[in-house]
A and B are shown apart, each in its own frame.
Chain A
């Protein structure tokens, strides 16, 4: 599979509501699909904060059967490679959906949502869920991890050992916003997932750590709103970058960011944004072969030696 450069973050774009925006991406990541339909959390579901936003959508989705029967055929017509985000409340639920997606036309990859801050988690570890899914599908499996763990690299290594083909970094962080007048939560569910500009350093740190820990391609996301943001995540070790909150304020962001990237590529005298892959590590670990090998292994990229 050729790795896309720009995709959307799951849950941040409805391809059927905005097909033109979807076609400006190299792959479309669906909203997370669970085995049963979910109405999602009660409103109010979103709140802006000083440097980002909270959402508590709660994995609203039509459920696996309706997705496969009704949504997927319509998504396929868009002609954009599809990454289906899969969620569940037990490893078997994830695996069943992966098995149902296996061999479906148009589906290029599966992203396992192992880290939604708005729903209860499956009791199994991320690695156990990945292992169950690995046995259920041949499709590339991306594990989407939360940055809210004290040793993300350890999780990344466990997920790699379980058979993941890539990591998506990062999901939102749990946050709370209060009404300044009433001092009560702005969201009906009280807490929500924190996204937007404030998440960028968190995403960079997660990508940076995982690039050193595993040899998997990384999808970086969190607070990306400019071409430079994309380049920074690539420099930290991401070969694909996902756009999230920026799509809410600017549906034309993918095209604009691509232009900004093109300008940067010319300015820096490189051929492709991914020529900067891993640059952030070079001054810190000259000659670290594990990093170099990990980055070189990423298919579809021309990778410069970082040492």
Chain B
């Protein structure tokens, strides 16, 4: 992990979201699904964000402005600078035969880079409005649905290696249909590197730090710190619902206000 002060090179609106572009500096882009801690101007704690895309000169982050920290990040412009720490956590296992990407709401954020790494596999995406669904343009080969149609309706019958990111209820629904799916979860984090124990969720029957064990977990997988059994419990569901705040599903995946 490395922390650098990087320059914002641009910020553009995509539906309700903001695609924040920063000069890459010497940061390693990591594996798709890993995350970075972004300094949120004026806030005490940084915000964890997965990398949307990476080029040799630029990193991009797709951010939903749902609270003071994310709003501050989305209001950054060229000539602003921010500290970014990463890459952190464990990303997706890219050794898959027949990948299918599944995304919900702002959970689409890591999928452009994941899609690129996997050669543009098919993707199914769910959003809560046409406006939010503008972000689907970032993911090649994507089929999109709008609530009340749920993304699980778009899952094909035939077997795929599912890689998913989205709100906890969506991930649970995906897992029930594709038990071996790789799922990128979320929990509130203060540090992102194992120091604070704030992001503990129940993994394999005990409370463990999602930043160290995840954020990508796979049922029975051993590559993510030996997770076993059903990776995420009602405790995480509770974590998700706590931040639901009466808001639509696509907010849930970005708990970091």
Q: A-side interface residues toward B, CB under 8 Å?
A: 11-14, 17-18, 21, 31, 39-40, 42-49, 51-53, 55, 57, 60, 179, 181-182, 184, 186, 188, 196-197, 245, 247-252
Contacts and interface: CB of A to CB of B under 8 A. Distances in A.
B207 A251 contact: no
A40 B238 CA distance: 16
A43 B245 contact: no
Contact of B44 (A51, A181, A184): A51
B29 interface: no
Given A48-B69, A179-B242, A248 B3 contact: no
B189, B242, B246: residue with the most chain A Cβ atoms closer than 10 Å:
B242
B85 interface: yes
Nearest to B256: A48
Contacts of B107: none
A interface, over-half SS = loop
A249 B39 contact: yes
Contact of A14 (B44, B187, B195, B245): B195
B195 A43 contact: no
Contacts of A184: 242
A43 B3 contact: no
Given A17-B195, A46-B196, A250 B238 contact: no
17 contacts: A12-B195, A42-B235, A45-B198, A46-B189, A46-B196, A47-B188, A51-B44, A55-B196, A57-B197, A181-B247, A184-B242, A186-B242, A247-B195, A248-B45, A249-B39, A249-B46, A251-B85
A48 B187 CA distance: 13
A39 B190 contact: no
B200 interface: yes
Contacts of B85: 251
A47 B44 CA distance: 11
Given A51-B44, A248-B45, A250-B83, A44 B195 contact: no
A247 B194 CA distance: 11
B206 A248 contact: no
Given A18-B194, A18-B195, A179-B245, A43 B187 contact: yes
A237 to B, nearest CB: 26
Interface of B: 1, 3, 37, 39, 43-46, 69, 83, 85, 187-191, 193-201, 206-207, 212, 235-236, 238-239, 242-243, 245-247, 257
Q: Can you list the 10 inter-chain pairs with the closest CB atoms, starting with the nearest?
A: A17-B194, A46-B198, A248-B191, A181-B245, A248-B190, A43-B239, A57-B197, A14-B194, A48-B45, A196-B44
Nearest to B196: A248
A53 B190 contact: yes
Nearest to B187: A43
Contact of B206 (A39, A44, A45, A47): A39
Contact of A45 (B191, B200, B243): B200
A193 B224 CA distance: 30
A303 B197 CA distance: 38
B198 A245 contact: no
Nearest to A48: B45
B233 to A, nearest CB: 10
Contacts of A44: 187-188, 238-239, 242-243
A21 B193 CA distance: 11
A17 B198 contact: no
Contacts of A57: 196-198, 200
Contacts of B39: 249
B45 A181 contact: no
A134 to B, nearest CB: 30
Given A40-B200, A196-B44, A13 B188 contact: no
B230 to A, nearest CB: 16
A250 B257 CA distance: 19
Contact of A249 (B44, B243, B257): B44
Contacts of B201: 43
Contacts of A251: 1, 3, 85, 191, 193, 195
A53 B45 contact: yes
Contacts of B189: 46
Nearest to B244: A182
B3 A17 contact: no
A258 to B, nearest CB: 16
A238 B7 CA distance: 38
